């Protein structure tokens, strides 16, 4: 950030000086102004994505775990509208058949 401010300040400083030495205008008045501004940006919305992968033998185990995560996030004190979640069976292909075990 400081490099950008330095470069912009240098350009605004050197540009009028270079123009002052040009032969285009002998009786011109040149005004040199340095404009420098620095601001910190504060976001209006902070978006955080939390992805959780878990394995369990029962769907209720996984849903309870997601509920604990939801409560933990609420306890942080952020303005929070609740999460969305999906629970899928743990399935894979084996010998041209689908096998599933747990969630």
Residues of the chain short of pLDDT 50, as ranges, are none
**pLDDT at residue 93, as a whole number:** 92
Look at residue 48 and tell me if it is in a domain: no
Residues 30 and 63 placed together within one structural domain of the fold: no
**pLDDT at residue 29, as a whole number:** 65
Number of folded domains in the chain?
2
Look at residue 87 and tell me if it is in a domain: yes
Domain that holds residue 77: 59-100
pLDDT digits (tens, 9 = 90+) for 64-87: 888 888 888 888 887 777 667 777
Look at residue 22 and tell me if it is in a domain: yes
Look at residue 46 and tell me if it is in a domain: no
Residues 32 and 65 placed together within one structural domain of the fold: no
Look at residue 63 and tell me if it is in a domain: yes
**pLDDT at residue 39, as a whole number:** 79
Q: Give the chain as a DSSP string.
A: -HHHHHHHHHHHHHHHHHHHTSSS-SS----------------S------------SSHHHHHHHHHHHHHHHHHTT-------------EEEETTEEEE---
Look at residue 47 and tell me if it is in a domain: no
Q: What is the pTM of this model?
A: 0.42
């Amino acid at each position: 950030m400081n490099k950008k401010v330095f470069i912009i300040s240098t350009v605004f400083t050197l540009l009028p000086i270079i123009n002052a030495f040009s032969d285009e205008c002998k009786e011109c008045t040149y005004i040199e102004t340095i404009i420098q501004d620095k601001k910190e940006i504060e976001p209006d919305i902070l978006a955080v994505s939390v992805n959780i992968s878990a394995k369990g033998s029962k769907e209720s185990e996984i849903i309870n775990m997601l509920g604990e995560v939801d409560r933990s996030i609420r306890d942080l004190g952020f303005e929070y509208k609740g999460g969305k979640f999906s629970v899928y069976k743990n399935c894979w292909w084996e010998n041209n058949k689908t096998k599933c075990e747990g969630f």
